[in-house]
Amino acid sequence: MQVCLGAGQDVGRSCILVSIAGKNVMLDCGMHMGFSDDRRFPDFSYITRSGRLTDFLDCVIISHFHLDHCGALPYFSEMVGYDGPIYMTQPTQAICPILLEDYRKIAVDKKVVEITKHIHDNRALRYVELLPLSGTVQEPQSTSNAFTPPLTHWLLSPCILIPSACETPGTSPLMLVDDELEIKAYYAGHVLGAAMFQIKVGSESVVYTGDYNMTPDRHLGAAWIDKCRPNLLITESTYATTIRDSKRCRERDFLKKVHETVERGGKVLIPVFALGRAQELCILLETFWERMDLKAPIYFSTGLTEKANHYYKLFIPWTNQKIRKTFVQRNMFEFKHVKAFDRAFADSPGPMVVFATPGMLHAGQSLQIFRKWAGNEKNMVIMPGYCVQGTVGHKILSGQRKLEMEGRQVLEVKMQVEYMSFSAHADAKGIMQLVGQAEPENVLLVHGEAKKMEFLKQKIEQEFRVSCYMPANGETVTLPTSPSIPVGISLGLLKRELAQGLLPDSKKPRLLHGTLIMKDSNFRLVSSEQALKELGLAEHQLRFTCRVHLHDTRKEQETAVRVYSHLKSVLKDHCVQHLPDGSVTVESILIQAAAHSEDPGTKVLLVSWTYQDEELGSYLTSLLKKGLPQAS
Ligand SMILES: [Zn+2]
């Protein structure tokens, strides 16, 4: 079963709750950048209803550092009260707090400001106790490191993925969350440190992609997954209907537009996320400027350049092969033409190119610059990524040229607005490719718009003949699985089976009787005797007793003797005994003679047997009911 708390038929605030074989895992904990009311966070009330969250959730997994995938973490831990384990890759763990900090600076709504304030509140750090994993205890992070203000309880996965770089697909080894829950990470491309995750409990498994890119770009490799055949693949579908033109065409187009604008003395604004596309586009412009010997300045806004480069250098194994090779000879991330931006530069005359955050023009420096430059038709804004509804970025991309800013001020947009899909999401072709690689039994689409999802859903169902779902937020999808449970068979039981002359044949399934015992989550089929022995139990005996009336005036002892000699003569193949206490036994069957309470001329025979000897017991009863031969 699984539930979408966010990103159901929507882009933003990714948050999916998956229940698999009794384990509850939350996939991503993102925020929606298009809202500033309650809709900006996933609806956690769905799980808070189940009681204490930390008890309910076995773990939280974060796919990558984008805020629509991890932005609600501070709220989730500080306000909702979750303090269980959170899994993420090392680069994500390092970079995510910078983005949150960056967001706090520009956040307009009080709630977010208040919550994120806790990041630097030392009291919040009391949560930091990294859990032992795979037998190793992680040292708590030093709190003096300015780049890693741990939110709460960051549980570092011990894996460092081997990056794919196309020729060496990257996966992590399996990590055990507990005795039953296993996690495996796959390289996802998209941004530094992004990963797709396989969650496995017994024979059931789910793969969650987060955001991924199936084509390598200038600084990262392509996403890769093996034929893991999960019961369910949960994939993003941001570009569900887009088949993007070739990478090279897009790059040429981008450079042409920037070049033309700069040539005619205009300014180019490129709103970007702090890390990700920005680095790729910087590499692209840097090479072009060098080749064309251009003089117009290129700036990268705020102090983020340094931080970004710091992390790319730190996590160079996560980048693609070309970058890794170049890095040995020359640091690809130290740019000759790209310089740090100062606020005052925006008013300088003449052409320039500025990379500014945030990427959707919803606040901060990119929006400030946009407002300054929007009135001049010589200028250009290039949106290189997806913009969620409600942001200025989305508005201008959908053609709005008169924007109402705060204070009822109307901003007229005369500058050219361009959109270039450099966003590192898989397109329709890429999503189909991933489904083909993983061979899932079912597919579930998240992180996309309903109409586009519908199109992709049909395509997937037709091509792969698997069920495809696209739940809305809060909607539950339940998938029946037929888990195969391996059961060990004891040697004793096998030997007994073989003794009956039946040789095992893998092609012919057959019934095997025994007692099933579960120990340490393992099942074994053993004989009932062995089960009793292992469990220290005594067998419970159930005896049936039947009364048979006989006409006999002699004493009970003599009746017993007569019964004995009769049975002895009739049942030649059985062991018939006359015991010292006067009772008679035939195998396990016991026969006793007693006086009748009212009639001295009648004797009562009590015949008793266990359920195993039911057949012989009832035979004896019917035999005795016929009476005894006359005494000689
Ligand atoms: Zn992303």
Q: What is the pLDDT of residues 213-237, one digit of tens each?
A: 888 877 788 888 889 999 999 999 8
Q: Which helix (H) or strand (E) holds 77?
A: none
- Do 411 and 454 lie in a common domain? no
- Please indicate, yes or no, if residue 13 is contained in any of the structural domains: yes
- Please indicate, yes or no, if residue 137 is contained in any of the structural domains: no
Alpha carbon distance 169, 184 (integer Å): 14
Find the 342 Cα to ligand 1 centroid distance in Å.
Answer: 28
Find the 65 Cα to ligand 1 centroid distance in Å.
Answer: 7
- Do 258 and 359 lie in a common domain? yes
Contact 318, 193 (CB under 8 A): yes
The residue count for the chain: 632
Residue-level pLDDT at 113:
59
Residue ranges, the chain, pLDDT below 70: 1-12, 33-38, 50, 102-175, 242-247, 274, 276, 302-307, 327-333, 423, 502-504, 631-632
| 3-state SS assignment for residue 628 | coil
User: Parallel, antiparallel, or unpaired for β 515-519 and 476-477?
Assistant: unpaired
For 324, the token pair is: 């890794």
Asked which of 419, 440, 456 is the last residue of a domain, the reply is: 419
How many Å is the Cα radius of gyration of the chain?
38
- Do 457 and 379 lie in a common domain? no
Find the 593 Cα to ligand 1 centroid distance in Å.
Answer: 88
Find the 191 Cα to ligand 1 centroid distance in Å.
Answer: 7
Query: Given 236, 251, 280, 286, which residue is catalytic?
Result: 236
Find the 72 Cα to ligand 1 centroid distance in Å.
Answer: 14
Find the 223 Cα to ligand 1 centroid distance in Å.
Answer: 13
Contact 534, 517 (CB under 8 A): yes
- Please indicate, yes or no, if residue 96 is contained in any of the structural domains: yes
Alpha carbon distance 492, 476 (integer Å): 47
Alpha carbon distance 461, 439 (integer Å): 13
What's the CATH number where 162 sits? 3.60.15.10
Q: 3-class secondary structure for 271-339?
A: ECCCCCHHHHHHHHHHHHHHHHCCCCCEEECCCHHHHHHHHHHHCHHHCCHHHHHHHHHCCCCCCCCEE
What's the CATH number where 279 sits? 3.40.50.10890
What's the CATH number where 561 sits? 3.30.310
Residue 349 C-beta-side C-alpha neighbours within 13 Å: 0
| 3-state SS assignment for residue 491 | helix
- Please indicate, yes or no, if residue 559 is contained in any of the structural domains: yes
Task: Spell out which residues have Cβ within 5 A of ligand 1, the ion.
Answer: 66, 211
Find the 64 Cα to ligand 1 centroid distance in Å.
Answer: 7
- Do 447 and 324 lie in a common domain? no
Residue span of the structural domain in which 15 resides: 2-108+157-242+424-472
Strands, E assignment, 435-542: 442-446, 467-469, 476-477, 487-489, 515-519, 522-526
- Please indicate, yes or no, if residue 145 is contained in any of the structural domains: no
- Do 216 and 261 lie in a common domain? no
Find the 164 Cα to ligand 1 centroid distance in Å.
Answer: 18
**Interaxial angle between packed helices 277-292 and 304-314, expressed in degrees from 0 to 180 and rounded to the nearest 10:** 100
pLDDT (tens digit, 9 = 90+) per residue, 448-499? 888 888 999 999 999 999 999 998 887 888 888 877 778 899 888 888 888 8
- Do 225 and 314 lie in a common domain? no
- Do 310 and 270 lie in a common domain? yes
pLDDT (tens digit, 9 = 90+) per residue, 414-447? 999 998 877 677 888 899 999 999 999 999 998 8
Find the 496 Cα to ligand 1 centroid distance in Å.
Answer: 60
Find the 273 Cα to ligand 1 centroid distance in Å.
Answer: 10
Q: Is 556 a catalytic residue?
A: no
Q: Is the dihedral of CA 424, 426, 427, 429 positive or negative?
A: positive
Find the 307 Cα to ligand 1 centroid distance in Å.
Answer: 19
Find the 235 Cα to ligand 1 centroid distance in Å.
Answer: 13
- Do 84 and 20 lie in a common domain? yes
Contact 57, 77 (CB under 8 A): no
- Please indicate, yes or no, if residue 149 is contained in any of the structural domains: no
What is the DSSP secondary structure assignment for residue 533, as one 8-state letter? H
**348, burial (CB in 10 Å: exposed 0-12, middle 13-18, buried 19+):** exposed
Find the 276 Cα to ligand 1 centroid distance in Å.
Answer: 9
Find the 187 Cα to ligand 1 centroid distance in Å.
Answer: 14
Find the 261 Cα to ligand 1 centroid distance in Å.
Answer: 29
Terminal C-alpha separation, the chain: 80
Residue-level pLDDT at 160:
35
**547 has which bridge partners?**
606
Beta-carbon neighbour count of residue 606 at 10 Å?
Answer: 14
Find the 37 Cα to ligand 1 centroid distance in Å.
Answer: 22
Give me the sheet containing 584-586, strands edge to edge.
543-551, 602-610, 589-595, 584-586, 576-578
- Do 279 and 367 lie in a common domain? yes
Residue-level pLDDT at 405:
83
Find the 194 Cα to ligand 1 centroid distance in Å.
Answer: 8
- Please indicate, yes or no, if residue 632 is contained in any of the structural domains: no
Alpha carbon distance 145, 143 (integer Å): 5
pTM: 0.67
- Do 460 and 604 lie in a common domain? no
- Do 279 and 300 lie in a common domain? yes
Pick the closest to residue 65 from 193, 206, 201, 207 (CA basis): 193
Count: domains in the chain: 4
Question: Widest CA span of the chain, in angstroms?
Answer: 139
Got the DSSP string for 155-202? Answer: EE-S--PPP-TTTS--BPPPEESSSSEEEEEEE--SSTT-EEEEEEET
- Do 85 and 169 lie in a common domain? yes
- Please indicate, yes or no, if residue 631 is contained in any of the structural domains: no
